[in-house]
């Protein structure tokens, strides 16, 4: 289908540990553990590839332990364009309990110099101008040395190429990113409340804040509400989705799955109903296991049919296509 450029400034090797229940201060015995290349950018890239797109993954990697990322990109058919820096890519520990609770212990990341960030920015803008990707996704946290203001400058530089910029980050980084009005953003409830400057106590205040974000200039305003669903405000209208009930095993990767699937629907010019239905169902599929959503899961079509989509303020009158 389309070519998408995904940028992850602070990737990680994920040490995923599954255990019945975490007991702080005690010896915990894991049911399983797995170390693999991960991070929000790789998650988004994997979903986009699974949905049929060609993906270039860029950002920073530690030169001393990049083997897992090289192998992951080769296995998944992702073009590896990350800039290598001296040192090691961070390791994030993810402790997943049987009740679905996940405890993240994240490393800080490699120190990024101004020169390295400038080199990456120049390369990304050049790729936008020469390859004309359908979109650029900037996702994840910031490594040491990259300030929220520097992220905003990077997004602004990418916007000048004319390529839509989709953003998924948090905290001060998200605040700075929203200030320069990316094409799309996917905050959760607390992140949108921080931007709006007030708590979002009910569906009405959630919808109002999402509308305000869109009115401010973020064309695709996507509010992720977890098990309560998704709000999507854009020129296509105001839409809401309620996911099917599934057994939650691990929520890591669900938000990345949602973002990638929403982008897929937009660039594939699907109807807003089908875009939101597919993205919400795929995010629900993701929480059933470790990793991102699998659009080829044997029961994915059933999950789609069990996902309710309607215009905001309307009753949910049915599920399915």
How many structural domains is the chain composed of? 2
CA distance 215 to 219: 8
> Which of 168, 201, 234 corresponds to the end of one domain?
168
Is 287 a member of any domain? yes
**pLDDT in the model for residue 250:** 78
Terminal Cα-to-Cα distance of the chain (whole angstroms) = 22
Is 129 a member of any domain? yes
Is 177 a member of any domain? no
Question: DSSP code of 11?
Answer: -
98 labelled catalytic:
no
Could you tell me the pTM of the whole model? 0.90
Q: Are residues 225 and 145 in the same domain?
A: no
> Which of 168, 197, 212 corresponds to the end of one domain?
168
Q: Of these residues, 256, 269, 294, 299, which one is catalytic?
A: 256
Both tokens of residue 302? Answer: 């059933």
53 near 74, Cβ under 8 Å? Answer: no
Mean pLDDT of 267-285: 97
Question: Tens digits of per-residue pLDDT, 5-63?
Answer: 999 999 999 888 999 999 999 999 999 998 889 889 999 999 999 999 999 999 999 99
**pLDDT in the model for residue 315:** 45
129 near 123, Cβ under 8 Å? Answer: no
303 near 244, Cβ under 8 Å? Answer: yes
β pairing state of 102-105 and 91-97: antiparallel
pLDDT at 64 > cutoff 50: yes
pLDDT at 132 > cutoff 50: yes
Phi-psi region of 109 (alpha: psi -120 to 50; beta: other; left: phi over 0): left
Is 23 a member of any domain? yes
Q: What is the CATH number of the domain that holds 301?
A: 3.40.1190.20
> Which of 168, 200, 219 corresponds to the end of one domain?
168
Residue 12 domain boundaries: 1-151+162-168
Q: Are residues 48 and 115 in the same domain?
A: yes
Q: State phi, psi for 215 to the nearest 5 degrees.
A: -65, -30
At residue 221 the predicted structure's pLDDT band, cuts being 50, 70 and 90, is very high
pLDDT at 124 > cutoff 60: yes
Q: Are residues 197 and 315 in the same domain?
A: yes
Q: Are residues 188 and 321 in the same domain?
A: yes
Q: Are residues 213 and 276 in the same domain?
A: yes
Q: Are residues 10 and 146 in the same domain?
A: yes
Q: Are residues 54 and 112 in the same domain?
A: yes
Question: Tens digits of per-residue pLDDT, 74-122?
Answer: 999 999 999 999 999 999 888 989 987 888 898 889 999 999 999 999 9
Mean pLDDT of 218-225: 97
Q: Are residues 143 and 193 in the same domain?
A: no
């Amino acid at each position: 289908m389309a070519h998408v450029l995904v940028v992850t400034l602070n990737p990680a090797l994920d040490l995923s540990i599954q255990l019945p229940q975490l007991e702080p201060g005690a010896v915990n015995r894991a049911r399983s553990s797995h170390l693999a290349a991960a991070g929000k950018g790789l998650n988004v890239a994997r979903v986009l590839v699974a949905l049929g797109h060609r993906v270039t993954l860029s950002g920073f990697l530690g030169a001393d332990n990049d083997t897992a990322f090289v192998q992951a990109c080769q296995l998944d058919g992702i073009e590896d364009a990350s800039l290598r820096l001296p040192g090691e890519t961070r390791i994030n520990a993810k402790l997943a309990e049987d009740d679905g609770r996940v405890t993240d212990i994240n490393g800080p990341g490699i120190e990024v110099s101004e020169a390295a960030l400038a080199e990456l920015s120049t390369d990304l803008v050049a790729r936008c101008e020469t390859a004309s990707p359908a979109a650029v996704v900037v996702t994840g946290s910031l490594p040491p040395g990259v300030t929220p203001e520097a992220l905003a400058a990077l997004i602004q530089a990418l916007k000048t190429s004319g390529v839509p910029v989709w953003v998924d980050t948090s905290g001060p980084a998200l605040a700075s990113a929203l200030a320069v009005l990316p094409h799309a953003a996917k905050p959760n409830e607390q992140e949108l409340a921080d931007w709006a400057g007030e708590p979002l106590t009910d569906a009405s205040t959630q919808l109002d804040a999402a509308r305000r974000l869109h009115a401010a200039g973020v064309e695709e305003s996507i509010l992720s509400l977890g098990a309560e669903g998704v709000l999507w405000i854009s020129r296509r209208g105001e839409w809401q989705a309620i996911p099917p009930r599934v057994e939650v095993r691990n929520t890591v990767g669900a938000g990345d799955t949602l973002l990638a699937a929403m982008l897929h629907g937009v660039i594939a010019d699907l109807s807003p109903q089908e875009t939101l239905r597919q993205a919400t169902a795929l995010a629900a599929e993701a929480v059933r296991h470790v990793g991102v959503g699998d659009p080829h899961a044997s029961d994915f079509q059933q999950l789609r049919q069990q996902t309710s989509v309607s215009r905001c303020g309307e009753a949910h009158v049915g599920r399915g296509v």
